Chain A
Amino acid sequence: MSEPAAARDLRSGKKFTLSDRAFGMLLIAPALIVFLVVIAYPIGRGIWVSFCANKLKNINSPVWNDFKNYRDIFKRGAFWQYFGTTLVFVVLTVSIQVVLGMMLSLLLNSNIRGRKMFRGFFIIPWTIPSVVVAILWNWILQQQYGVVNYLIMRTGAISAMELNWVSDPALAMASIILACIWKQLPYMTVMLLAGLQSVDTGLVEAAHIDGANGLKSLWHIVLPSIRPVLVTCTWLSVTQNFQQFTIIKNMTGGGPVYATTTLSVAAYKEAFTSYNFGTSAAIGVLWMVFLFFITLLSNWMNDRYSRDFV
């Protein structure tokens, strides 16, 4: 940036001969090297592999196979099934989480005592490792001795311990969504709460004096003010849940049959159960393309929204 010429002279006369720009680049060099070696190169190679026959025996020498991987996953109709499952899982997990997180953070942001204590309690599930979350919820949702079935039975909705959570297609989806929301809700709440705490209270008070009720000021003042945080959190949650593997793998294993096989579980199984690296990479590439377009779309909508309101 523009720095005083005097300061520049003062420094260049000293032992450092590196320009500021070169020094700055030097500092990001380790990050760039790691990025290139373990992210950019693997992704680039993954895109190439997606067009190749690549199994365990030729793991280091993929051979071009004329889009066979893509034709395969579309021909079996498998891709659309995985894709649909992923969308159901991601949309439900994220939307329920955003709504609950919003309610919880509004509650925490209201005039209460012990806010920090409550926030501290609410964040604990986030610190539990995903594998443990999966095993814990499997036990809670266990058919014969699980607490959830017991509670539902006590309310009289079912007459015996009969809900087989992880083996019924719809219930299996509900199980993984429940476990994921439990684990992720704290993060969402803390972020939204931070957003709420930065809202100008003067604006809310002014609206109150002008006769706006709580709901109105929430809709017209609070939500627009925290829109950037809300968008960031939602976006992070969407990408994160596209990646969700640990909880699904350890709760349902993608089953029953394919009921909870999302793109990430399918890509894993193709690669490391069937050792069809090419097919797995093809699933991954399609998923990247989808997220890329969603990002463009959301940026475009964001720009338009900002223009309308500025």
Chain B
Amino acid sequence: MRTGARFTPKKLGTFFKYFALVLLAAILLFPIYWMIVCSFMESHYLMVIPPHLWPVEPSFKNYVEIFNNAKYLRYFQNSFISAGGTVALALLIAVPAGYSFSRYDIPGKNGILSVIMSVQMFPVVVILISLYAFYSRMKLMSTYQGLILADTTLVMPLSIMLIKSFYDTVPRSLDEAAKIDGAGRLQTLVLILFPLIAPGVVAVCIYTFLNAWDDYLMALILMQGDMKTLTVGIAETFLGEYCYNYGGMMAFSFIGSLPIVILFVFLQKYMIAGLTVGAVKG
């Protein structure tokens, strides 16, 4: 503070900027704060005006109730398996395809790429109508394989594009050097290029896990009975047994979000790099 505490227009501007940022952060994060606060209270403390903005008699009761319910634990397990499977399948598809699109001269490459990207325009319900008939015939209803395959379609386009943009950032001279050193094409892909695009692979893992975890529509139709996933389970209890139990509802919601939030906190760097690499390059 060498210039003293005089208010210059510039300082006022800076102050305003921080003020706006903090205010916006507070507004955007309030719903999450509110979810957590409510999850620690019993419902009768929530049905009051003015609302308690800090938990009254905080307890883990709502959480204990959820963890004591075998049905809910099963939903958790289903979500983990389907989301994990989707990540694996998406990588298996996107890592070779992205490499190929980045390096090889494939006939009709741009056409194939734009068709794959246009998938996002196709109504999921129309895909589901056929999958529903197809899966019933093939006995794929209420199976992990069925949902994993369906969820993969949601994430495939962007996964391929992301991996391709990461390969694009690796100079081709590296492929050439590997070739001169006698490495085969598969060896180059696995041993030399794959480690270099590791951040991209991490980004795709997070992106696919997040989307598969978030999926509601596919799971709602394709998974029945005790094969239901967490999102469907949460929505159902909200309409059913937790109808007026807002505390329990918030606890369930928070647990349902937690895996993703944890993933995000630890891997934020990769996620943002992955999200933005394609966009900036166009």
Contacts and interface: CB of A to CB of B under 8 A. Distances in A.
B11 interface: no
Given A34-B93, A38-B131, 15 more contacts: A15-B184, A23-B104, A27-B100, A32-B112, A35-B116, A43-B126, A46-B129, A60-B133, A124-B28, A124-B264, A129-B213, A129-B231, A132-B234, A135-B249, A194-B279
Contact of A122 (B25, B133, B216): B25
A123 B50 CA distance: 30
A170 to B, nearest CB: 22
B54 interface: no
A274 interface: no
Given A14-B184, A27-B104, A240-B120, A130 B179 contact: no
A49 B129 contact: yes
A7 B249 CA distance: 63
Contacts of B234: 131-132, 135
A285 interface: yes
18 contacts: A10-B180, A20-B105, A23-B100, A24-B104, A25-B106, A27-B97, A38-B127, A43-B130, A45-B129, A129-B216, A132-B256, A142-B246, A147-B51, A161-B49, A229-B280, A245-B124, A249-B216, A284-B125
B2 interface: no
Nearest to B122: A43
Nearest to A228: B282
A271 interface: yes
A27 B193 CA distance: 15
A191 B129 contact: no
Contact of B221 (A7, A198, A272): A272
Interface in A11-39: 11, 14-16, 20-21, 23-25, 27-28, 30-32, 34-35, 37-39
Contacts of A34: 89, 93, 149, 152-153, 156
Interface stretch (A64-72, A90-98, A182-190, A200-208): A182-190
A118 B246 CA distance: 30
Contacts of B6: none
A198 B276 CA distance: 11
A218 interface: no
Contacts of A245: 124-125, 216-217
Interface string A139-170: 11010110100100000000001000000000
A142 B235 CA distance: 16
A250 B47 contact: no
A292 interface: yes
A21 B124 CA distance: 33
B238 A135 contact: yes
B17 interface: yes
Most interface-central of B14, B130, B216 (chain A CB within 10 A): B130
A264 B128 CA distance: 12
A28 B106 contact: yes
Given A21-B104, A161-B49, A239 B121 contact: yes
A131 B238 CA distance: 10
A94 to B, nearest CB: 14
Interface string A228-255: 1100110010011011011001100000
Interface in A100-156: 104, 107-108, 110, 112, 118-125, 127-132, 134-137, 139-140, 142, 144-145, 147, 150
B217 A295 contact: no
Contact of B280 (A108, A195, A250): A195
Nearest to B89: A34
A125 B31 contact: yes
> DSSP class of B's interface residues: helix, strand, loop or mixed?
helix
B197 interface: no
Contacts of A39: 119, 122, 127, 153
A99 interface: no
B96 A27 contact: yes
A240 B158 CA distance: 13
Nearest to A196: B280
A236 B120 contact: yes
Interface string B257-269: 1001101100010
A267 B128 CA distance: 11
B132 A118 contact: no
Contacts of A119: 272
Closest 4 CB pairs of A and B: A24-B104, A42-B130, A194-B276, A284-B126
A187 B100 CA distance: 28
Given A11-B179, A131-B234, A125 B28 contact: yes
Interface in A241-285: 242-243, 245-246, 249-250, 263-264, 267-268, 271-272, 277, 280-281, 283-285
Most interface-central of A34, A43, A267, A295 (chain B CB within 10 A): A34
A287 interface: yes
A59 interface: yes
Contacts of B112: 28, 32
B174 to A, nearest CB: 14
Interface string B121-156: 111111111111110110000000000011011001
Most interface-central of A38, A190, A194 (chain B CB within 10 A): A38
B126 A250 contact: no
A42 B125 contact: no
B153 A127 contact: no
Contacts of B72: none
B147 to A, nearest CB: 11
A107 B214 contact: no
